[in-house]
């Protein structure tokens, strides 16, 4: 039996990167998966892949900045699969980058809305449903940026993603007595479209690679396995953590 057999999971940002890899792994481990992202065609393609491999999945395209969308994903999970056990709030954006003195108010607000508020709205409705059966695991995707080290030009990204760590701790303390676990992952650099957008030259990629003790960046599949741990009963005594999945970036000075 899979590690998520008989469980129902929501994954946002599922159309690519870490979200896509995690959705496929969850399904392979027995979960019935509800996929969320903005790109409908990519979601439909992923549903097809999961079903072709023998899994079960449904998808709903939308914007995580919308509370109505957060409610709709939970409603879809209950309508199609009867319950909700796991939620991976992974959708995110780099946001407006560049010198902080030039970042617009709109650009700042957009990063906060997607990375932080969107995750809160998701968790708000996910936890409300999980409370009905007294158990659940909520997971956020934060980042090492602004936690282990900082870079110029990404203030909105760093601030919004760092806020998820405080949210993780607050929700874990509030709902732990009712059986809900809440954790966040802090990946190092991962080979995704977002990584390539931030590091668009060989010199930048070499610099980032060398920050890691393993002297390489991670793959979405490697991060997905850490998310699986937090989603599964293997981590039944783990809550409130900011879990580094960073190839040793946080401890490297060479």
**pLDDT band, residue 193 (cuts 50/70/90):** confident
Catalytic, 157? Answer yes
Can you tell me the mean pLDDT for 147-171?
96
Q: Look up residue 192 and give its two tokens.
A: 């995704």
Distance, CA of 141 to CA of 91 (rounded, Å): 8
Q: Look up residue 2 and give its two tokens.
A: 């899979």
In the chain, the domains with their CATH numbers are: 8-251 (3.40.50.720)
Cα dihedral 148, 151, 157, 163 sign: positive
Q: Find all residues with CB under 8 Å of 204, minimum gap 6, and list them.
A: 198
Q: Which of 147, 157, 195, 229 is catalytic?
A: 157
Q: Look up residue 204 and give its two tokens.
A: 């930048």
What digits encode the pLDDT tens for the residues 104-143? 999 999 999 999 999 999 999 999 999 999 999 999 999 9
What digits encode the pLDDT tens for the residues 217-248? 999 999 999 999 999 999 999 999 999 999 99
What digits encode the pLDDT tens for the residues 24-79? 999 999 999 999 999 999 999 999 999 999 999 999 999 999 999 999 999 999 99
- Expressed in angstroms, the distance from the first to the final Cα of the chain is 43
Produce one character per residue of 83-101: b if its CB has 16 or more CB atoms within 10 Å, e if not: bbbbbbbbbbbbbbbeeee
**Which helix or strand (DSSP H or E) is residue 209 part of?**
helix 202-211
* CA neighbor of 120 nearest in space, from 50, 46, 170: 170
């Amino acid at each position: 039996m899979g590690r998520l057999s008989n469980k129902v999971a929501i994954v946002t940002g599922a159309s690519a990167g870490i979200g896509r890899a995690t959705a496929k792994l969850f399904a392979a481990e027995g979960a019935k998966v509800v996929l969320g992202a903005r790109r409908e065609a990519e979601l439909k393609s992923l549903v097809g892949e999961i079903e072709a491999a023998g899994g079960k999945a449904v998808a709903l395209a939308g914007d995580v900045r919308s509370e109505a969308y957060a409610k709709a994903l939970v409603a879809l999970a209950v309508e199609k699969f009867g319950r909700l056990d796991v939620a991976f709030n992974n959708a995110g954006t780099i946001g407006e980058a560049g010198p902080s003195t030039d970042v617009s108010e709109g650009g700042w607000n957009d990063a906060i809305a997607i990375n932080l508020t969107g995750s809160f709205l998701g968790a708000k409705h996910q936890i409300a449903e999980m409370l009905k059966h007294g158990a659940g695991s909520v997971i956020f995707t934060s980042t090492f940026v602004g936690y282990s080290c900082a870079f110029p030009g990404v203030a909105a990204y760093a601030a919004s993603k760092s806020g998820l760590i405080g949210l993780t701790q607050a929700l874990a303390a509030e709902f732990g007595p009712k059986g809900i676990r809440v954790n966040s992952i802090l990946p190092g650099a991962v080979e995704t479209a977002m990584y390539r957008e931030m590091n668009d030259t060989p010199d930048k990629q070499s610099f980032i690679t060398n920050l890691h003790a393993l002297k390489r960046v991670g793959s979405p599949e490697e991060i997905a396995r850490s998310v699986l741990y937090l989603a599964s009963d293997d981590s039944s005594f783990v809550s409130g953590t900011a879990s580094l999945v960073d190839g040793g970036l946080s401890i490297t000075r060479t």
